[in-house]
Structure 1
Amino acid sequence: MRKPLIIQTDFGTADGAVCAMYGVSYGVDPELRITDLTHDIPQYDIWEASYRLIQTVNYWPEGSVFVSVVDPGVGSTRRSIVAKTTTGQYIVTPDNGTLTHVKRMCGITEARIIDENVNRLPGSGESYTFHGRDIYAYTGARLAAGVITFEGVGPSVEAESVIELPVVEAAYNGDRVSGTIDVLDVRFGSLWTNISRDLFLKIGVKHGQRVEISIENETRTLYKNILVYAKSFADVYVGEPLIYVNSLDCMAVAINQGSFAKAYNIGTGNKWQITMRKAPKIIYED
């Protein structure tokens, strides 16, 4: 039985690279159902590739096959693997940290190294720079089409051996929580943090109340202000900043109908730290 095939890359769509991956996949089985996750991952940004996977994988049916190709180490000794998640999806990818968030937040039960003697596009043996087409799309299509089983991918390896990128854990420190700005809600410029809703609620804030936030990078404080903790964007005026719970059940910071990232020149990654605490009461004396 055919399964969905979902493809993610940093290739963009300005040339024929993605189309070639489609062609290889349909060459395996013209009846495959292929969906794009995104092809707009910033070049070589393994961290964002990892985050976009965890944003989507769990919503696809068991047996769905994801192909993720953000591969600055193409042609090196890094492994090519297929991982099986605890919810039964498969991810075909270079083993370079792309599976960091899936491994941590969803879980990987099994992993296999792709046997290129079996699972490589025929006639591509002397090509070392387009593994997305020659290995990952081909293997993903064969798995989604049922040409091979998971066991047919190649030799098994320990799930714990799958490479993870460094992560700074969110933390609760008495009256405040701190974490990192992991990624942007790209189109709208919202900041998505790694602070979970449960951790955030430990500071004792309810919807409609105000939160003091501070955003720093390695050199200085970029932003400090008091924001409303809102259920949705409709709870604040246009142009007003807010804190809300995003679709991954983590805390996010935004401007209603504006880009917070552009307004304050905020980036993403472990060096971008954010701290939140319940806003102190201001007492005015006569």
Structure 2
Amino acid sequence: MGNPLILQSDFGLGDGAVSAMYGVANCVDLDLKIYNLTHEIPPFDIWEGSYRLLQTIAYWPENSVFVSVVDPGVGTDRRSVVARTHSNHYIVTPDNGTLTHVNKDIGVAEMRMIDETINRLPNSGASHTFHGRDIYAYTGARLAAGVISFEQVGSKLDLEQLVMLPSMDAYMESEVLYGIIDVLDVRYGNIWTNISRSQLVDLQVQYGDLVKVTIEHESAIVFEREMIYGRSFAATEKGESLIYINSLDNVAVAINQQSFAKKYKISTGVDWKVFIKKT
């Protein structure tokens, strides 16, 4: 029996793209277990694709194979790679920054260039716009099924050449926590920061305390208000703001039963700064 194959993309489910990837994988091995991480990454949003891998990968067994295709550079000279993490998971992806969060928090142990003369869907050589099907799903399925080993993916790459997106580590200075908005809890509109629970503890903030939250975008303040640090949404009334600890043990900002991101037009990435101060 092979290892799990988990697919992620910005393709959506409105056409046959994801089904084609499933079909290719099943042609490699009908017994493969194939799962979706998500196919609702916003189009071309490499940053969010990177974060969703980190959000998910640790909860899958060792040797699981992830295929992540958020690929605005398809058809260019960007590299197609397979990375092995220090947690012994595999990620098949374009080397365009998709590995940023995983490399920072888990670590990439080894990376190999996909040899397309071997690991490419037969008779697809004239297609240059659907590498998710022709290269990534095909290579990922072969690796998950044990048809090829990691060493047979292709030549080993220097990890110093790994493409990383700009990012910023959270830190504390003068009793203020500084971080960024890593991602949105998209269905509910909560914002997830990269400030950890342990850093909030270092600030000596406890449940029920008030904190001042400031959010800046490109040095302009877009939100600033005091709110409670709650164990859960039950700490506030409907429509009130709070900070809480999310499922990745980081600080999140929310409005009880409303979308914080939509109300204040908040997005994600290194240009979206968050400051937290105990009041």
TM-score range, shorter-chain basis? over 0.9
Per-residue displacement from partner, 1:189-246 (whole Å, max 9, x unpaired)? 0010111112222221111111111111125211111111111112222221110111
Equivalent positions of 1:205-216 (< 5 A) are 205-216=205-216
CA distance, structure 2, for counterparts of residue 235 and residue 164 of structure 1: 38
CA distance, structure 1, for counterparts of residue 234 and residue 87 of structure 2: 34
Shift of residue 157, structure 1, vs aligned partner: 1.1
What TM-score results when the alignment is normalised by the length of structure 1?
A: 0.95
Instruction: State the match for 1:261 in structure 2.
Output: 261
Instruction: State the match for 1:149 in structure 2.
Output: 149
**Is residue 4 of structure 2 the alignment partner of residue 4 of structure 1?**
yes
Sequence identity of aligned pairs in percent?
A: 58
Number of matched pairs: 279
SS at match of 1:60: coil
Instruction: State the match for 2:94 in structure 1.
Output: 94
CA distance, structure 1, for counterparts of residue 88 and residue 179 of structure 2: 30
Equivalent positions of 1:136-215 (< 5 A) are 136-215=136-215
Shift of residue 110, structure 1, vs aligned partner: 0.8
Instruction: State the match for 2:59 in structure 1.
Output: 59
Per-residue displacement from partner, 1:74-114 (whole Å, max 9, x unpaired)? 11111100001111110000000000000000111111100
233-242 or 188-197, which deviates more: 233-242
63-72 or 246-255, which deviates more: 246-255
CA distance, structure 1, for counterparts of residue 31 and residue 213 of structure 2: 51
Instruction: State the match for 1:15 in structure 2.
Output: 15
Per-residue displacement from partner, 1:158-211 (whole Å, max 9, x unpaired)? 233221101122121121111111110000000101111122222211111111
43-52 or 268-277, which deviates more: 268-277
Where do 4+ consecutive residues of structure 1 move more than 4 Å? none
CA distance, structure 2, for counterparts of residue 228 and residue 160 of structure 1: 42
CA distance, structure 2, for counterparts of residue 21 and residue 125 of structure 1: 16
Give the AA of the match of 1:211: V
CA distance, structure 1, for counterparts of residue 209 and residue 59 of structure 2: 32
Structure 1 unpaired stretches of 5+: 280-286
RMSD after superposition: 1.0
What TM-score results when the alignment is normalised by the length of structure 2?
A: 0.98
SS at match of 2:58: helix
CA distance, structure 1, for counterparts of residue 250 and residue 66 of structure 2: 24
Per-residue displacement from partner, 1:108-158 (whole Å, max 9, x unpaired)? 111110010110000001111110000000000000111011111111112
Instruction: State the match for 2:231 in structure 1.
Output: 231
CA contact (8 A) 2:167 2:269 kept: no
Give the AA of the match of 1:157: L
SS at match of 1:183: strand
CA distance, structure 2, for counterparts of residue 67 and residue 27 of structure 1: 16
Give the AA of the match of 1:20: A
Give the AA of the match of 1:214: T
Larger Rg: 1
